[in-house]
Amino acid sequence: MEEKSSSSTPSMDPYKLLGIVQNPDGSLTRQTHFPSVPAIEETSTGSNSDPSQLALFKDIPLNSENKTFIRLYRPPTPPPNADNKLPLLIHFHGGGFILFSVTSRPFHDACCVKAAMIPAVVISLEYRLAPEHRLPAAYDDAVETIMWVRDQAVDVNGRDPWLKECVDFSKCFLFGSSAGGNMVFQAALRALDMDISPVKIIGLIMNQPYFSGVERTESEKRFFNDRILPLPANDLMWSLALPNGADRDHEFCNPMAADESLKEKMERLPQCLVSGHGGDPLIDKQRELVEMLEARGVDVVVEFAEGGCHGIEIFDPLKAKALLQSIKEFVNTTCLRVLEDFFKVGKVFPTLKQAFEKMDLEVIYEACSPSVEDVQVLSRKRQTDADLHGSLNRKIQRKLKQWRRKRKLELISEGEYQVRFIEVHAVGWSYVELLPQ
């Protein structure tokens, strides 16, 4: 399948392209685009040839009246101890609000890979589709999922054993591509006015988020007859998804045209990762979203690549791998910021050793002498790289040289020390200086 098309492509039938037929009652008959993965628990084999074998998964009912459910994924090996649990990713699939399911093979496989490779626990929502259930039905289902997670965190009516064993509810992310990215944005705004404690949504991941507007953007005009998302198909999906009588400047479709009160609310959103591709007809609207969020003071990590197409990670394994790496880095970095914030709020411990134990870090090397003011500590997550206990100084120096990703962070205070993170490594290593105040 080509990544993009020129405006010279002949006009097409959007119903045929989308594989839908509208019935007399307004409902849709949908063609099956992708094979469906059955609702059974699978045992990991560790084989990369079948992504479904990378993680365990199971289905859990959410709302029997609405016929919604969640598919829960976890790595095959749980965290080694109760103090070092995994982040939680709540996932919303794409499909223009009218197509697909959590059971659709591409979305299912992607969740398996994320659970295994980040690693994380992933919840993927089977939400109600339009036009049978027009917006905001999908947003309501997303919020209900967040509240279900809240109930799990406070152990209402019993906690699922996978969540109890594996999840750190203070490290929750919302993630979605295309229409799922739109749902991330809308659900996060709604969650701001809800008491979801002790759950903390610390990051939003919006890959090629699905937004539009009445006025055509330059990219929409440029890719009018795009092979993946031609403008007639885009318009049709919005006409089927939006509330009856609404146009594409409704806040569900075009938050950039929303009233000031909603935009002020956006200032409270957590850090966001927004990714996209220049060959996507929606790229200009995604850039507008980033500009709006940044203007409101939201911390946005922006990753826009040249070329590509809408939903390219479904068709191109290399793009899927790059997206996974971006998400992994964003999740790890954002979780590290939680560690920084823990120190910033004034948590004080009688000794440095107790501080690191509380944060589930283990001090394995100290270089200090009466003539050296600074205390340097190399810390690690307890479960990683146990072999570094031997020949510490030589191996540590070699490991530091191997680190390619370096990130300087601001000074933060903890007790009698200022803490400066000098290096960050994706699998949990961090080199810090503790400077006596």
Residues assigned a catalytic role: 178, 280, 310
SS3 198: coil
- A 10 A CB-CB count for 268 gives 13
Beta bridge partners, 421, equal: 432
Residue 76: DSSP 8-state: S
Which token pair is 354? 């107790």
SS3 52: helix
Residue 105: DSSP 8-state: H
Q: Are 339 and 202 in contact (CB under 8 A)?
A: no
Residue 168: CB partners within 8 Å, gap ≥ 6?
Answer: 85, 86, 87, 88
- A 10 A CB-CB count for 299 gives 13
In angstroms, the CA 248 to CA 208 distance is 18
Estimate the share of the chain in helix, then strand, then coil, as percent rounded to the nearest 5. 35, 25, 45
Least Cα distance to 142 among 202, 100, 84, 182 occurs for 182
Q: Are 328 and 118 in contact (CB under 8 A)?
A: yes
Give the torsion through C-alpha atoms of 237, 241, 243, 244, to 10 deg: 50
* H or E element, residue 262: helix 260-266
Residue 61 C-beta-side C-alpha neighbours within 13 Å:
5
SS3 319: helix
In angstroms, the CA 260 to CA 166 distance is 40
Least Cα distance to 77 among 119, 42, 106 occurs for 119
Residue 346: CB partners within 8 Å, gap ≥ 6?
Answer: 413
